[in-house]
Chains A and B, each alone.
Chain A
Amino acid sequence: MSFTSLTASEIARKIKTKEFKAEAVATAYLDRIKTLDPKIQAFNEVFADRALQQAREVDAKIAKGETVGPLAGVPIAIKDNMLIRGERCTCSSKILEGFVGTYDSTVVRKLRTAGAVFLGRTNLDEFAMGSSTENSAFRTTRNPWDISRIPGGSSGGSAAAVAARMAPLALGSDTGGSIRQPAALCGILGFKPTYGLVSRFGLIAFASSLDQIGPFATTAEDAALLLQVIAGHDDRDSTSINQPVPDYSHFLGKSLKGLRIGLPKEYFIGGMDPQVDKAVREAVKVLESFGATTRAISLPHTDHGLAVYYVLAPSEASSNLSRFDGVRYGRRAKDAKNLLELYEKSRGEGFGPEVKRRIMIGTYALSSGYYDAYYAKAQKVRTLVKQDFDEAFKDVDVIATPTSPSTAFKIGEKSSDPMQMYLSDIFTISCNLAGLPGLSLPCGFSSDKLPIGLQLLGRPFEEGTLLSAAHHYEQTQQWNKEAPEIAV
């Protein structure tokens, strides 16, 4: 039995009972990273010595009989857009090369208190802008199921790390699907909580009204364990909701009898991969076997959601990324002759093409003369998208859809056509616009052994319902237990 084939919950239990030493567990994961990551390229940096030190501290505390947190000794990988004090944080961008975080983001602070061991920082599309992790300035992460293919994005590094069992848990961030889509393409569970549930303090912002941090795991039990640690109000994030966090583990065994599932017709369109359609419909039947019922519903503004997102997200990003100006941190152009050149060259050289595209779209949409036609209009259509869900949730409790219209595509296949890439977000985006919780769970494979994900969307703050559905599904379908074989 290898530590790296265990779940986080199993590891946590056996470390507490002293059956396992945290240092042995951390060593096993670090060894696996050393073996596999040269092929997978999930990590921007591995914290080898610091991880072992954290693990030793957990063992010392347990030996002394001190109380330890719920994730004591459990290794976790962190997407490289969340600040860890004393560690570099790059957002996979040249503009932040060398930047060192001066404080812990709230999620990292909570993980520290919980006793987690930080394995390293994972690769992403630059500034979380992308659906394939190909926009990273540093490396292209590969899908562990087929290394000629993308892992999805923007949290591709975190998803690949968990799929390849280089980490039992990882954190990602999701603005338009960046946790759910890579989870689907890599065959693991990925969860975007309700907007406002998890603090964004210390998350380098992309789109402030859409971003949320959430867990990657291989089981619903593990996702609940991690969500429990990171959820909760934070004074330092004025967009975090101030209400008590429920006990998520309590929901896992909750019966699905009478759960009403809606299948929106707009998400089961022609042109979708038929194998994806089939796997998702069969997965819904499994939920029915537990007592859930299904009905067809309509979310009429689905088609416009993508257009709303590609106005609002770049607009918010153009504002958030204006802080990267070469003045206080990050890359500063060497040959600037005056202040304007300092700004223009630092940013022109430091940002990659996708980031520049989005900053420009956002700047255009917010500029004088265009603001009403683009930004203000998009905000109104956002209301229509949200209203679709409010209406639907009067008749159903959960909405089931495919997470992605296709399985993982080949590296380079869509990277020369931005619009093509944007269309891969079509099923995940509306959830962010409406601020709802959403998860993707593995529900099968294509004939070429590529993972397929089922997406479940819930009412605001009903994470428990989604976890319950995922947990029940896992009892009879073992897709989540399959791990890729990676030739080295």
Chain B
Amino acid sequence: MSITKKDVEHVARLARLALTEEEKDRYTTQLGQILGYVEKLSQLNTDNIPPTSHVLPLSNVWREDKMEPSTAQTLGSPEDILSNAPEREGPLFKVKKVIE
């Protein structure tokens, strides 16, 4: 399976990764090798084989629709969480303009 530099650029854009030209060339070669290896999956007949997305016999694990203790106990206080922010303004995360 050969992957082109254009494919790599497309995938990098989808994955929101900025790559240098050197990286694009290197990854084109390496990804080509890896994808070539995984091609062997197409050799197998999987008609009528169900996919396994999860190994345990669990599905739709719900909880009761009732108030739980504050997430400050589970995930940290708003102040703790905001202290990791690269840029903040008061209780808000600050980012570049989202809508032009």
Asked if A307 meets B41 with Cβ closer than 8 Å, knowing A102-B76, A239-B58, the reply is: yes
For the complex, give the distance between the alpha carbons of A377 and B12 in Å: 23
For the complex, give the distance between the alpha carbons of A100 and B77 in Å: 13
Prevailing SS type, chain A contact patch: helix
**Highest count of chain A CB atoms <10 Å: which of B17, B35, B46, B56:** B17
- What does the 1/0 interface line of A279-315 toward B look like (CB < 8 Å)? 0000000000000000000000101101110110000
> Within A301-344, which residues are at the interface with B (CB < 8 Å)?
301, 303-304, 306-308, 310-311, 318, 322, 325-332, 336, 338-344
Specify which of B17, B46, B95 is in contact with A381 (CB 8 Å cutoff).
Answer: B46
Distance in angstroms from B7 CB to nearest chain A CB is 7
For the complex, give the distance between the alpha carbons of A48 and B46 in Å: 54
> Within B28-83, which residues are at the interface with A (CB < 8 Å)?
30-31, 33-35, 37-42, 44, 46, 49-56, 58, 61, 63, 74-77, 80-81, 83
**B53–A345 CB distance below 8 A:** no
**A357–B17 CB distance below 8 A:** no
CB of A228 within 8 A of chain B? no
Distance in angstroms from B81 CB to nearest chain A CB is 5
Instruction: Specify which chain B residues have a CB less than 8 angstroms from the CB of A36 in the assembled complex.
Output: none
CB of A238 within 8 A of chain B? yes
**B51–A383 CB distance below 8 A:** yes
**A363–B11 CB distance below 8 A:** yes
Prevailing SS type, chain B contact patch: loop
Specify which of A196, A238, A356, A419 is in contact with B17 (CB 8 Å cutoff).
Answer: A356
For the complex, give the distance between the alpha carbons of A111 and B10 in Å: 45
- The interface size of chain A toward B, counting residues with CB under 8 Å, comes to 72
Query: Which of A131-139, A174-182, A218-226, A346-354 is the interface stretch?
Result: A346-354
* Contacts beyond the supplied A195-B55, A239-B58, A342-B96: 14 A-B pairs with Cβ under 8 Å: A85-B76, A102-B76, A239-B61, A310-B37, A311-B41, A357-B31, A359-B17, A360-B17, A360-B27, A361-B31, A378-B41, A380-B46, A380-B52, A381-B41
26 contacts between A and B (CB under 8 A): A100-B80, A100-B84, A102-B76, A195-B55, A238-B58, A238-B61, A239-B56, A303-B40, A310-B38, A322-B16, A328-B81, A332-B87, A344-B16, A353-B26, A357-B31, A359-B15, A360-B27, A364-B11, A379-B52, A380-B46, A380-B49, A381-B44, A381-B49, A384-B49, A422-B34, A433-B52
Q: Which residues of A contact B (CB under 8 A)?
A: 85, 99-100, 102-103, 195-196, 209, 235-236, 238-239, 241, 301, 303-304, 306-308, 310-311, 318, 322, 325-332, 336, 338-345, 347-349, 351, 353, 356-357, 359-361, 363-364, 367, 373-374, 376-384, 386, 418-419, 422, 433-435, 460
